[in-house]
Amino acid sequence: MSTAITLPNSALQPDGAGTASFTSSSISSPANAVQTVAIDLADRSYPIVIGAGLMGAHAIYAALPQAATALIVTNTTVAPLYADALRTALAPKYAQVHLVVLPDGEEHKNWQTLNLIFDALLQHGCDRKSVLFALGGGVVGDMTGFAAASYMRGVPFVQVPTTLLAQVDSSVGGKTAINHPLGKNMIGAFYQPQLVVCDLATLDTLPARELSAGLAEVIKYGPIADMDFMGWLEEHMDALLARDRTALAHAVRRSCEIKAWVVGQDEREAGLRAILNFGHTFGHAIEAGMGYGAWLHGEGVGAGMVMAAELSRRLGLVDDAFAARLRALVQRAGLPLRGPVLDAADNAGRYLELMRVDKKAEAGEIRFVLIDGPGRACVRAAPDALVREVIAACCSG
């Protein structure tokens, strides 16, 4: 059964001409049920399926386009855990299922690693119909997606995200990319998968630090779009940290629904979609300034949300109580509350320098995603002096 979902907060109501729509369905409520969020992007539409143990169920892949070969792209951490299960599930569908195992970590999200995927595709004689499967976290997903977008100018791909962050973030939106030494995600494409399989059972093997990092992207959806969801997270944070599958299923589904609505309005990030980067402007500066991989992406977003909320507060957009409430939720998720000192001599200057090369910056002006009322985000510039005050107040070495 399929029902249309209406988002509760006014900031996310369709404005008449909106093109976005998605439908969600679920079989009652037990933890083992399969839930589906349908992402509606015209000829680039696809379903996200959510449930425990889905990866190994070959029926999940039945509707994918037929091809002679499939290539599973994964990393050294995930391969021993899940590559065999996925391979077995794909065997009835594809005559040949190949595997390429990448080194693990954000520091490998570069051209050299991407090229390992192209090497494998060509060595195995993969053609324009071959299907890529991204089995892993956000780094594997981003690189596999960009490889799929670029190989022979585009082949089909499927996301099988094995981290909470990838399930709630990269599974919707079609953003793929690699890093450049001078900036994160600078080289990439908008490219949609055919299918996303969020297998909640894979979260059992996720290190606690990565579970927390994933919760940063879940928490984000509250302040920018849905304060009811923020309230639900406050009630269920202990269950999420204990990996309760019913709670995880709801968090993943609601995050995907909100992101799908926003992306449906603005697939190519011309406007509204930028609100999904709440916490990311400061967060990207932290990641780049510390060297990719030192802080997890979600950790940067956690501290970055606290900094963006503080900037919103100092601009008079939200009150003390809202900023304190967000800070408390970030802390309960096990995330860092304070940014690192990136430069002992001029820390704020270093943050500003890194934020000016952010993709959202225009002609050197930093565009901050701020909260201008609980459940509502805006994108705007801020005076350097005020940003410096926020950085001084929110960082420690």
Instruction: Please report, as ranges, the residues that interact with its own copies according to CB under 8 A.
Output: 68-69, 111, 115, 118-119, 122-123, 125, 127-129, 149-154, 175-177, 180, 182-183, 186-190, 268-269, 356-357, 359, 361-364
Nearer to its own copies, 269 or 389 (CB): 269
Residue 162 marked ligand-binding = yes
DSSP category for residue 122: H
* Residue 277: active-site member: yes
The active-site residue out of 254, 277, 313, 367 is 277
| Tokens matching residue 259 | 């992101």
The active-site residue out of 87, 254, 259, 376 is 259
In angstroms, how far is CA 8 from the centroid of its own chain?
22
313-319: long-range contacts, CB 8 A cutoff, minimum separation 24: 314/386, 314/389, 314/390, 315/370, 315/382, 315/386, 317/370, 317/371, 317/372, 317/373, 317/378, 318/371, 318/372, 318/373, 318/374
Residue 105 marked ligand-binding = yes
Residue 216 φ then ψ, to 5°? -60, -45
Report CA torsion sign: 130, 134, 140, 145.
Answer: positive
Residue 129 marked ligand-binding = no
Nearer to its own copies, 152 or 328 (CB): 152
Angstrom distance (rounded) from CA 114 to CA 73? 10
Overall residue count recorded for the chain in this entry:
397
Closest CA to 233 of 305, 131, 312, 332: 332
Nearer to its own copies, 121 or 140 (CB): 121
The minimum distance between CB 193 and its own copies, in angstroms, equals 16
Angstrom distance (rounded) from CA 376 to CA 56? 39
The active-site residue out of 87, 273, 313, 367 is 273
Nearer to its own copies, 189 or 337 (CB): 189
* Residue 327: active-site member: no
Nearer to its own copies, 153 or 344 (CB): 153
* Residue 217: active-site member: yes
The minimum distance between CB 335 and its own copies, in angstroms, equals 27
Residue 88 marked ligand-binding = no
The active-site residue out of 98, 253, 280, 350 is 280
The active-site residue out of 269, 338, 353, 389 is 269
End-to-end CA distance of the chain: 53
The minimum distance between CB 175 and its own copies, in angstroms, equals 7
The minimum distance between CB 312 and its own copies, in angstroms, equals 24
* Residue 297: active-site member: yes
Nearer to its own copies, 327 or 359 (CB): 359
Residue 205 marked ligand-binding = yes
Residues 6+ apart with CB under 8 A from 306: 279, 323, 326, 327, 330, 337, 338, 394
* Residue 175: active-site member: yes
Nearer to its own copies, 210 or 267 (CB): 267
Angstrom distance (rounded) from CA 340 to CA 391? 10
Residue 204 marked ligand-binding = yes
* Residue 284: active-site member: yes
Angstrom distance (rounded) from CA 91 to CA 58? 8
* Residue 273: active-site member: yes
The active-site residue out of 245, 297, 313, 325 is 297
The minimum distance between CB 368 and its own copies, in angstroms, equals 16
360, 270 in Cβ contact below 8 A?
A: no
The minimum distance between CB 95 and its own copies, in angstroms, equals 9
SS3 of 47, please? Answer: strand
SS3 of 116, please? Answer: helix
Residue 139 marked ligand-binding = yes
Mark the binding-site residues for Zn(2+), compressed into ranges: 217, 280, 297
Residues of the binding site for NAD(+): 104-109, 138-142, 162-163, 175, 184, 202-205
Q: Which residues are annotated as a binding site?
A: 104-109, 138-142, 162-163, 175, 184, 202-205, 217, 280, 297
Which residues are catalytically annotated? 153, 175, 217, 259, 269, 273, 277, 280, 284, 297
